[in-house]
Amino acid sequence: MAEKRTDAHPDSLASHQNVALLMRDITKVFPGVVANDKVTFELKVGEVHALLGENGAGKTTLMNILYGLYQADSGEIYLYGKRVRIRSPRDAIRHRIGMVHQHFKLVPRHTVAENVVLGLDGAPFLAPARAVEDEILQLGERYGLKVDPKAYIWQLSAGEQQRVEIIKALVRGADILILDEPTSVLTPQEVEELFKILARMREEGHSVIFITHKLDEVMEVSDRVTVMRRGKVVATLSTADVNKPTLAKMMVGREVVFRLKKVACERGQEALVVEDLWALSDRGLPALKGISFSVCRGEILGIAGVAGNGQKELVEVITGLRRATRGKVFVLGDEVTNENPRRIADKGVAHIPEERLKRGIVPEMSVAENLILKRHHRSPFCHGFFLNLRAVKRFAHHAIEEYAIMTPGPDTPAKLLSGGNIQRLILARELSGEPALVIAAHPTYGLDVGATEQIRQILLEQRRRGAAILLISEDLEELMSLADRIAVIFEGEIMGEVSPEAATLEEIGLMMAGEKRRVRR
């Protein structure tokens, strides 16, 4: 049960009428890290408040404490001046707090209405889903959250699923809404729509906490911003009084270079050619429907698109992890369609996989072992049956230094490394043999600004060296600054190809939503 105390908080901050939430001196320690160190956060009624910081800065931890998923080790929470204890999400909901998690908390095989009614107090025992259908439609009208209550979640786009999450919170009467990195899965148009919805909510008197690490969004949507770094609050400011470089400096703790220097490169031999490629998804449905393109040495071809439109299958078919049902793949002129992954890798194909922890490393194995995964069966790491541990260690020390992998040592289990360092480890392994072709799937996804910058530099360096790079990303800014050409994928088809210099974000966004580009070649 949530405990409510009637005594007013002595602090003058909370005695202001317009303060919805005050979290004071919140400290949360996880084994080995102080995730929140005496964090104080204040939210006014009817404001959109951005919570800005790099990954691992402690933003999500703070919000999980507010939502009752974690318990703070110390500190107090006040809602409208009253001290509250929030021990579980149920308590949070009772206090009219709603949260839209970065990874949606939805049951894909259930309908929208079933998801909305799950755990809802006061829902009838019989036919509960039908009882909320009307309310879902009404809220949709009022806030511009259009969604069919009878549709199954798996049928919906990411943007629609997010609307379901917001509806879930509103049905529970949420006054305070927490959005955790809400734009990371949306197309530019969907982001615009989300911002309109937030504006509607602000007009209706809701208070919104908007967690992000994207500066543009802070500037566009928020009234105030709180910047966090390494578990501490750096500052809380009115958005009107700040600019992007100031925020970036606060967030990272140093100056950030916004533009990457890209040297012009000579286009060389075709390293990867894909012809009329078809493949099935895990569900047995067509995921690739006749994809054709080529990438030359010394260029970066970007593949833009909302997640789940065939990018994963495309990478898997090229690297030999999934069977092509039709079509051909050529690497450096040799056909490798449906060859086994090791044969393809041996042709000089590096693979930086989408799911770093699942496919990039063996988490339980050491850094050194992970570094030689791809070449452990060859000299100098192996002589006949035995591993040459000295060579392994020498290579590991070299790689750790060259790629600045922050690890206690080569024998540390890889799972203990942070996301950025795991990615550096993968790059060190994959790029060590000077590959002719680099397949990079979402290489900077979820990484902080510093690591992102470094990994982009490494990719450009590979391009300069003469590698062909296939870059799959959802981050349009990344594609615009790195790629020489951008192809847009939608439901397993290439909608069109643009050059980053000539294309606008709107144009690419429309293609990401399925509009085919008028052919003009």
The site for other proteins (CB under 8 A) is made up of 64, 67, 69-70, 88-90, 93, 99, 101, 103, 105-110, 114-115, 117-120, 123-129, 168, 283-284
Cα(14)–Cα(510) distance, rounded to whole angstroms?
45
Phi-psi region of 15 (alpha: psi -120 to 50; beta: other; left: phi over 0): alpha
Q: Using an 8 Å Cβ cutoff, are 289 and 457 in contact?
A: no
Q: Compare residues 119 and 253 and give the one whose CB is closer to other proteins.
A: 119
Q: Compare residues 70 and 445 and give the one whose CB is closer to other proteins.
A: 70
Q: Compare residues 94 and 328 and give the one whose CB is closer to other proteins.
A: 94
Cα(62)–Cα(233) distance, rounded to whole angstroms?
11
Q: Using an 8 Å Cβ cutoff, are 463 and 469 in contact?
A: yes
- For the CB of residue 163, give the shortest distance to other proteins in the complex, in Å: 16
Angle between helices 188-203 and 128-143 (to 10 degrees): 90
Residue with tokens 């360092």: 421
- For the CB of residue 172, give the shortest distance to other proteins in the complex, in Å: 9
Residue 489, CA distances (Å) to 185, 269, 303, 342 in order: 15, 24, 7, 27
Q: Compare residues 102 and 481 and give the one whose CB is closer to other proteins.
A: 102
Residue 170, CA distances (Å) to 128, 140, 325 in order: 17, 10, 45
Cα(366)–Cα(349) distance, rounded to whole angstroms?
24
Q: Using an 8 Å Cβ cutoff, are 334 and 301 in contact?
A: no
Q: Compare residues 93 and 251 and give the one whose CB is closer to other proteins.
A: 93
- For the CB of residue 91, give the shortest distance to other proteins in the complex, in Å: 9
Q: Compare residues 93 and 511 and give the one whose CB is closer to other proteins.
A: 93
- For the CB of residue 126, give the shortest distance to other proteins in the complex, in Å: 6
CB atoms within 10 A of CB 377: 11
Per DSSP, what are the bridge partners of residue 485? 301
- For the CB of residue 114, give the shortest distance to other proteins in the complex, in Å: 5
Q: Compare residues 374 and 442 and give the one whose CB is closer to other proteins.
A: 442
- For the CB of residue 402, give the shortest distance to other proteins in the complex, in Å: 32
- For the CB of residue 99, give the shortest distance to other proteins in the complex, in Å: 7
Q: Which tokens hold the place of 489?
A: 């994928």
Q: In degrees to the nearest 10, what's the CA dihedral of 332, 338, 344, 350?
A: 90
Q: Compare residues 109 and 520 and give the one whose CB is closer to other proteins.
A: 109
- For the CB of residue 284, give the shortest distance to other proteins in the complex, in Å: 8
